[in-house]
Amino acid sequence: MPKGKRKGKSDRRYEGSIQTSDEESVIDNVSLISGYSENTSAEDGITDEVDGFTQQEAFEEKLMEAIDGLTQKSAQGRANSFEAVAKAFIKKYVPDFVQDRKLTIIDCIERSLRKGRGVEQEVSAELAPLLCVQLGVDASNEVVANLKPVLKSTANDNSVSALARAKCCTSLALITYLSGGEMGDVLTLMQQFQVIFSGSYLKGDGSLPNVNSDAATLHAAALSAWTLLFTLMAPGDVYTMIGNGTNFTPSLVQLAQLLASPFLEVRLSAGEALAIVFELGREYHEDFAEEFIPDLVDTLRQLATDSHKYRAKKDRKQQRATFRDILYYIEEDNLQDLQIRFGKEILVLDSWTRRKQYYVLCHTLGSGLNMHLAENELLRDIFQLGNKLIMDTPSLKQSKLERHLVNAAAFKARTISRSKNRDKRSDF
């Protein structure tokens, strides 16, 4: 499980002064601009608005071209177009633009899932939750109604590649979560996910199953999808169902068996699932599954201190960090808050449930998550951030320009001063 604080840091690659080929050109340009800055501030504001409008038009035009490319004859071309549309949905929040074209996009996703193969199925499945993120809860119901059946059939089709099935599991869970589906449908879907990741349970004699890396990726994705939907359940239902061992939820013993998997992603997903099960169960009653804790703690402690050389160093580090947090929570019933900063706001992740929801969306939106947290109504509602803040963008841009000019002027003055005091070698 990655650390939330690192993901919360904003991307600073484009922050700072104008890039130029040498220092002198910066000074010359600044000197020219500073002479007219007071007289042209109003014109600069108008220019910024025009430039912003032009950039938006260019963005929508390129996005439209990518959407048109979803129907081309070449399979590789369609896959590239799906990736381009996904990147656009990650980069900008344009619900009105997407609303007018949602039926076209839904139809293209469905066609590629049914008739495509390999990579095309993977990238088309990845686009489904991004479409829901753009549209919001109400409009997402149409996405779910059209795509849920084909995603379910593809996820359960053994003839489809394991990686494509893994993408379908993740997409299924996300579109169901984002659209706020009925609890009965959620439980049915969880049962289907359990059937998939049960392939990593220990055999009857206690030995490890024969699972390759692709199958492990599928099992981890199915378990992660199951866990995301599990966060929607009421604490009382969790307490009752885990105790009764009903069909649609695995027992604590079965989840603990997954901790013995030779694949890191399966172990991490299992640990995360156990933490959330205990969190919701304890929320209903503090003595939840007390008889199971001693054995679980022993297993978690081994994973939190694992130093086996046959595991990659990076994997050992990630495993120890994750299971230390889980072990501390199971033993002490305490979890350290994670604070995610974006812009002038802070998102506090104070539970395993909120961490899970954040990490899944972070994996889906990547570098665009901070922008969506600030602008996207659906995400702000999920994390209870309230109405989005209204930022005075023009004044912020002007403030940055002023700071840039002041720094450049100081740099020029410092350079001149040093040149006067520098030793003249030609005098000796």
Express each pLDDT in 123-169 by its tens digit.
Answer: 999 999 999 999 998 888 889 999 999 999 999 999 999 999 999 99
257 and 300 belong to one structural domain: yes
Q: Which residue has the higher pLDDT, 34 or 121?
A: 121
For residue 114, the cross-strand partners are: none
Give the pLDDT of residue 411. 80
Express each pLDDT in 176-188 by its tens digit.
Answer: 999 887 888 999 9
Report the CATH number that the domain containing residue 77 is assigned in CATH.
1.25.10.10
Any domain includes 283 = yes
The confidence band for 14, taking pLDDT boundaries of 50, 70 and 90, is: very low
317 and 371 belong to one structural domain: no
Q: In sequence order, which ranges of 12-70 are alpha helices (DSSP H)?
A: 23-36, 41-68
**CB of 248 closer than 8 Å to CB of 226:** no
For residue 348, the cross-strand partners are: 339
Give the pLDDT of residue 244. 56
Instruction: Compute the average pLDDT of residues 34-60.
Output: 56
Give the pLDDT of residue 245. 53
Q: Which residue has the higher pLDDT, 403 or 66?
A: 66
Give the pLDDT of residue 256. 95
The answer, yes or no, to whether residue 29 has pLDDT greater than 60, is no
Total domains in the chain come to 3
Any domain includes 78 = yes
Give the pLDDT of residue 248. 54
256 and 154 belong to one structural domain: no
Any domain includes 189 = yes
The answer, yes or no, to whether residue 267 has pLDDT greater than 50, is yes
239 and 356 belong to one structural domain: no
Any domain includes 17 = no
Mean pLDDT of all residues belonging to the chain:
84
Any domain includes 411 = no
Q: How far is CA 78 from CA 39, 123, 170, 319, 416, in A?
A: 51, 9, 21, 37, 58
Q: Which residue has the higher pLDDT, 153 or 204?
A: 153
Choose one of 269, 300, 333: the last residue of a domain: 333
Instruction: Compute the average pLDDT of residues 254-281.
Output: 96
3-state helix, strand, coil in the chain (%, to 5): 75, 0, 25
Q: CA 365 to CA 389: how far, in whole Å?
A: 21
175 and 270 belong to one structural domain: no
The confidence band for 428, taking pLDDT boundaries of 50, 70 and 90, is: very low
258 and 383 belong to one structural domain: no
**CB of 285 closer than 8 Å to CB of 227:** no
Any domain includes 281 = yes
Choose one of 161, 181, 201: the last residue of a domain: 181
212 and 96 belong to one structural domain: no
Give the pLDDT of residue 229. 96
315 and 191 belong to one structural domain: yes
Give the pLDDT of residue 196. 97
200 and 311 belong to one structural domain: yes
The answer, yes or no, to whether residue 105 has pLDDT greater than 80, is yes
The confidence band for 399, taking pLDDT boundaries of 50, 70 and 90, is: low
Q: CA 204 to CA 99: how far, in whole Å?
A: 51
The answer, yes or no, to whether residue 279 has pLDDT greater than 90, is yes
pLDDT winner (highest mean) among 5-14, 36-45, 287-296: 287-296
Q: How far apart are the first and last CA of the chain?
A: 66
3-state secondary structure 357-395: HHHHHHHHHHHHHHHHHHHCHHHHHHCCCCCCCCCCHHH
Express each pLDDT in 73-98 by its tens digit.
Answer: 999 999 999 999 999 999 999 999 99
Choose one of 294, 315, 333: the last residue of a domain: 333
Express each pLDDT in 308-351 by its tens digit.
Answer: 766 777 888 899 999 999 999 999 999 999 999 998 999 999 99
267 and 172 belong to one structural domain: no
303 and 270 belong to one structural domain: yes
Any domain includes 404 = no
Any domain includes 325 = yes
88 and 218 belong to one structural domain: no
Q: Which residue has the higher pLDDT, 261 or 394?
A: 261
Give the pLDDT of residue 398. 53
- Expressed as residue numbers, the domain containing 274 is 184-333
